[in-house]
Structure 1
Amino acid sequence: MNTSVRFKNLQPSDALKSYVSEKLNRMEKYFNGPAEANVVLSIEKFRHSAEINIMGDRLIINGKEETEEMYSAIDMVLDKLEAQIKKSKQKGRKYRSKGKTGAMMPEQLIDIEGDQPRVRIHHIEFKPMDVDEAVMQMDLIKDKFLVFTNARTESVNVLYRQKDGNYGLIQPRA
């Protein structure tokens, strides 16, 4: 992690710099790419404050703590930042996993060798229903086609909307 440490009203100390760098390098495991940390250590009368801003993985985290000792202020702000990072990463996982329960999964591109075009694969979930229910579903979602399992024949069917507004049904034959 790229770390810059600034001192305000405090003599620059290699011990403090190395302590902050060591603690911040432990947080590198939460970031996939490069991250940058800006640290400001300051003293005002009896208050020792540590302010840390971390930028990485499209994430900006800020934290500030004031105590009577500099090392405890650094530890406290790092604990606070770690909690913020975990919370935001967990939130991202929650939103990414929503696609697995929906009707359409993220599409995949497969390269076929040679001069062939790419094949775009869509993963969808389909449920058993009759043709009338599928037509009503098509009217609700206003899509061009619907893949479903025909409840009567127990085979996969495709219902599609034709240019004239009518519907077409594709049924596999054994």
Structure 2
Amino acid sequence: MFKFNVRGENIEVTQAIRDYAIKKISKLEKYFDDQEVTAHVNLKVYSDKTAKVEVTIPFSFLTLRAEETSPDLYGSIDLVVDKLERQVRKYKTKINRKSREKASEVLIASVPGEETSDEDEGIQIVRTKRFALKPMDSEEAVLQMNMLGHNFFVFEDAETGGINIVYQRKDQKYGLIETDNF
């Protein structure tokens, strides 16, 4: 069961817009077993009359996130829901394949923290996020990273218990940083 937090930037969110967004995003509920989560929907309209829709749905084991921009707000909502649905299907297919291969329970990481920004005057940490690390293998970590749209992902290695990082390289391949436990 989804709850919704729909807000607008540079736009008044009318009941019609709210209802349309909720109706479309609610289609994703069929993929999840009665989990109560809040879907965060952010609607933006720019001066060039384009509309951007961002949706984030944080589950305990996965965070779905997508954004789309088009000349039409309703079109952007449709596009972002299509993107989220593709992410869910890809995730479910991957997990089903993994569980058949391993015939064991698959544990999935929670949301990674966001990168901080560096200022020219020196390093200034402007945001701190905490998140729980859950055991997984590097392939699952790459999948989670891609679904979140990030270029790195921190996770606990299921086999070694070490804290590792996967990242996307400039050549679009992936790298793995393994840490030593002392």
User: Could you tell me the TM-score, scaled by structure 2's length?
Assistant: 0.53
Match of 1:59? 62
Distance 1:17 1:42 in 2: 13
CA RMSD for the aligned pairs?
A: 1.6
Max radius of gyration: which structure?
1
SS at match of 1:38: strand
Identical columns (%): 28
Matches within 5 A, 1:1-174: 1-32=2-33, 33-45=35-47, 46-56=49-59, 58-100=61-103
Q: Deviations over 1:127-168 (max 9, x none)?
A: xxxxxxxxxxxxxxxxxxxxxxxxxxxxxxxxxxxxxxxxxx
Shift of residue 23, structure 1, vs aligned partner:
1.1
Bigger mean CA deviation after superposition, 72-81 or 29-38? 29-38
Distance 2:51 2:4 in 1: 20
Shift of residue 57, structure 1, vs aligned partner:
5.3
What are the ranges of 5 or more consecutive residues in structure 1 without an aligned counterpart?
Answer: 107-174
Q: Which runs of 4+ in 1 moved over 6 A?
A: none
Shift of residue 34, structure 1, vs aligned partner:
2.1
Change (3 A) 1:57 1:29: farther
User: Could you tell me the TM-score, scaled by structure 1's length?
Assistant: 0.55
Distance 1:48 1:91 in 2: 32
Larger RCO (CA within 8 A; separation ≥ 6): 2
Shift of residue 56, structure 1, vs aligned partner:
2.1
1:52·1:64 contact (CA, 8 Å) conserved in 2?
yes
Change (3 A) 1:57 1:82: farther
